[in-house]
Amino acid sequence: MTAKPEVKGFFDKRTFSVQYVVSDPATGKCAIIDPVLDYDEKSGATATHNADALLDYIAEKRLTVEWILDTHPHADHFSAAHYLKGKTGAPTAIGTHVVDVQKLWKGIYNWPDFPADGSHWDRLFAAGDSFSIGELQGRVLFSPGHTLASITYVIGDAAFVHDTLFMPDSGTARADFPGGSAKRLWASIQEILSLPDETRLFTGHDYQPDGREPLWESTVAEQKRSNPHIAGKDEAAFVALRNKRDKTLPMPKLILHALQVNIRGGRLPEPEANGKRYLKIPLDALSGAAWE
């Protein structure tokens, strides 16, 4: 019988992101997946409201954090992995191909001395790697397409699919970021959908179509049956649909803010001589400006 972890989702309304605490009921061990560090782009303020809510839940349930896991370097929010490691002592992890994202973005930010070696995390997971959360066994799928480094965590009967699949009424992730590929995204989706039909799928975002309440849990069977980007589609149809749709989408408003933090494992820039931290925003670095 496949183990069934307890999964608690936390929705961040500001970035439409879903963060998770995944726990083993038998041992009280848990992992945190895709935590958000609060950032207000209008004021430049940072805060730890989201991360502290995760810690409050963990304390309330008397859980012990064994892992802090990111599925990929996020483009729409800052990762709270570094902050949470400081609070819990738990190791941080991400996919091994994060080094490819680091190499790409160190050029965009003109950081010639930046060490693009993944050393900002304690563990880099490759496809097929395994890990444990108490008595729960987890394994890693390499799921590129949305980004070069995206991975899926399969833990018992649950799979954390980041931005590869949204809820069935919301389709799939965009594939037009630097290093993205609709063709690779299709292959990643097919691997996820080859899991047993009853596998619970937990997505990384929900944009609440038609103003419905936020949702983040589906199953492989539900996705295959009712996701309009997948059901009845072959690879060519999916790639054509995805590319056409992506051409209409503006870049995420925080992509240039977030990547410089997230390719450093969630570390904010070091303070300058006046004690203030500064982000570096390259001009004319990305295409896809929405002028209208």
- Record the tokens describing residue 54, joined without a space: 């995760």
Confidence of residue 76 (pLDDT cuts 50, 70, 90): very high
Query: Does residue 289 have a pLDDT over 80?
Result: no
Confidence of residue 75 (pLDDT cuts 50, 70, 90): very high
**DSSP state letter for 258:** H
Name the CATH superfamily housing domain 6-251. Ribonuclease Z/Hydroxyacylglutathione hydrolase-like (3.60.15.10)
Percent of the chain with pLDDT over 70: 99
Give SS3 for 77: coil
Place of tokens 């009845």: 232
Mean pLDDT of 238-263: 94
Confidence of residue 258 (pLDDT cuts 50, 70, 90): very high
pLDDT tens digit sequence for 6-38: 999 999 999 999 999 999 999 999 999 999 999
Query: Does residue 292 have a pLDDT over 70?
Result: no
Quote the CA–CA distance of 45 and 58 in Å, as a whole number. 26
Residue 210 CB partners (closer than 8 Å, separation 6+) = none
User: What local confidence, expressed as pLDDT, does residue 2 receive?
Assistant: 81
Query: Does residue 241 have a pLDDT over 90?
Result: yes
pLDDT tens digit sequence for 104-127: 999 999 999 999 999 999 999 999
Query: Does residue 290 have a pLDDT over 80?
Result: no
- Record the tokens describing residue 67, joined without a space: 């892992």
Give SS3 for 275: coil
Percent of the chain with pLDDT over 90: 92
The backbone region for 108, taken as left when phi is positive above 0, alpha when psi lies in -120 to 50, beta otherwise, is alpha
Mean pLDDT of 177-191: 94
